Structure 1
């Protein structure tokens, strides 16, 4: 068995078919963890970018197995608690335990405030907040049974400061930040740590399709707000693997006393 930084652990990752989720799966596997990979691998609600496919999820499986680790995958919508709980329970039975939960699945639909439809607002909250809550509810009992573990709720720089033209997304990511602290308070006695993660812009498929055009159109309507997207470190965008380094730290015993904390691999964007 690999003697990596999370050797012997099992990690659940949602939104695992591509982008940050895939990067998290591969990084954790490279450091010795077995993986439970969950993704809807199908049409996402309301979004303007390309949705993940079953082939994307299969590629994540292949990459984890290439690292010599076991992986159990499941296609489901994180908004479906019963399906998520059943899949996690089955995977834990196969892999023997669960130590890490990474609630990564999320959507983003940028638009000026007065162009946000009730459907977009509801979809964003259901995936980004209810889906995260469901993920914790499905995974946390197994961490308690294991005697401890780490839960990472993927928020955003938009969960530390306002990001313009993203009222539903910003609302959801502030909720995720608060949720992490609330769970940390109650799960601490079980040696389960809960933290939120707040990346800046990341180069993922979320930026495909009409996504960039929608952002550009919104900025054109109020250019005074454009600097709010500026990173302090002079990079326009980061890579999924950059975020995975932070996930690995929070998943590992190196962060054994880090809980109810916001970790921000955000290139300083929240300081502007």
Structure 2
């Protein structure tokens, strides 16, 4: 249970949900972690986002595993803030060897008072925020000369396009598809540095981004959307551990020759007829 001993992992959207689970699981396998989260509400997002108390709980859970944590509240849309946080985390914990770019929003409710703002918010968090994360982390990884692994958390919406015609749906599908291209380009560019870059594509996961009143109202109002969100295997929703299993594998020596790969963890959703 120590395959990441001596490694430092940067995880965004780490205050709760998948991000927290990835942090705890990496810590359990020996990694120290740099944790960032916005811990504030984005106006166009109809469900509650994480709080500082949530981020503090992630820190507590990491430390309970016997590992060190460096945490900062910041918006992944703010590249200078990310760069400063990574620099501070590296100074305290050591060079980054693993990146899990997990932060994202899915404001997919049944109303859209400002579609233009919603488009910009989703694209800026889900795509620009991921690029910022890689941009902030890669200098430390390259300078260390020890290779590394980057996992961009996409979605089944990064493989299929069936979220309806809303601005949020368009932006979510576009941003998650774009992560595949970003990962492939980074994989090509950083292969000489032995830095691997892959995407993981979850179906619905039991986190606050999926299990909230606004998304429930949307599915209740749109029978077609509800039907389109069903998995091929007989499981309604996955758990964060199911995604962490894939993330940790992609970051591990067992996947040392995998780069530029798009890995669905979706109970067959992406191949459902």
TM-score (norm 2): 0.93
Contact 2:76-2:82 at 8 Å conserved across structures = yes
Q: 2:263 & 2:118 partners in 1: Cα distance?
A: 28
> Structure 1 CA distance, aligned partners of 2:10 and 2:178?
21
Structure 1 partner of 2:255: 255
Matches of residues 192-207 of structure 1 in structure 2 within 5 Å?
A: 192-206=195-209, 207=211
Trace 1:137-176 onto structure 2 (pairs within 5 A).
137-147=135-145, 148-165=147-164, 166-176=169-179
Superposed displacement of residue 228, structure 1:
2.1
Cα distance between partner residues in 2 of 1:65 and 1:111: 36
Q: Which residue of 2 aligns with 1:9?
A: 7
Aligned to 2:184: 181
Alpha-carbon distance in 1 for matches of 2:54, 2:22: 14
* In structure 2, distance between residues paired with 1:191 and 1:33: 19
Distance (whole Å) between structure 2 residues aligned to residue 11 and residue 78 of structure 1: 16
Q: Distance in 2 between matches of 1:112 and 1:180?
A: 31
How do residues 1-272 of structure 1 correspond to structure 2 at under 5 angstroms?
Answer: 4-110=2-108, 117-147=115-145, 148-165=147-164, 166-206=169-209, 207-217=211-221, 219-220=222-223, 223=224, 225-272=225-272
Q: What per-residue deviation string (whole Å, max 9, x for no partner) do you get for residues 233-262 of structure 1?
A: 111100111101111111111111000001
Higher mean alpha-carbon deviation, 135-144 vs 39-48, is at 39-48
Q: CA–CA distance in 2 between the matches of 1:112 and 1:256?
A: 43
Which range moved further: 41-50 or 143-152?
Answer: 41-50
2:177 & 2:33 partners in 1: Cα distance? 28
Deviation of the 1:227 alpha carbon = 3.0
More moved, 15-24 vs 231-240: 231-240
Rounded to whole Å, the distance in 2 between the matches of 1:107 and 1:174 is 15
How far off its partner does 1:116 sit?
7.0
Alpha-carbon deviation of 1:114? 8.7
Q: Look up the SS of the partner of 2:34 in the other structure.
A: strand
Asked whether the 8 Å contact 1:6–1:31 carries over to 2, the reply is yes
User: Deviation digits for residues 51-105 of structure 1, max 9, x if unmatched?
Assistant: 1000000000000000000000000000000000000011001112110011000
Q: What SS does structure 1 have at the residue aligned with 2:49? A: coil
Deviation at 1:211, TM superposition (A): 2.4
Is contact 1:152–1:197 with CA below 8 Å preserved after alignment?
Answer: yes
Aligned residues: 266
> Any gaps of 5 or more consecutive residues in structure 2?
none
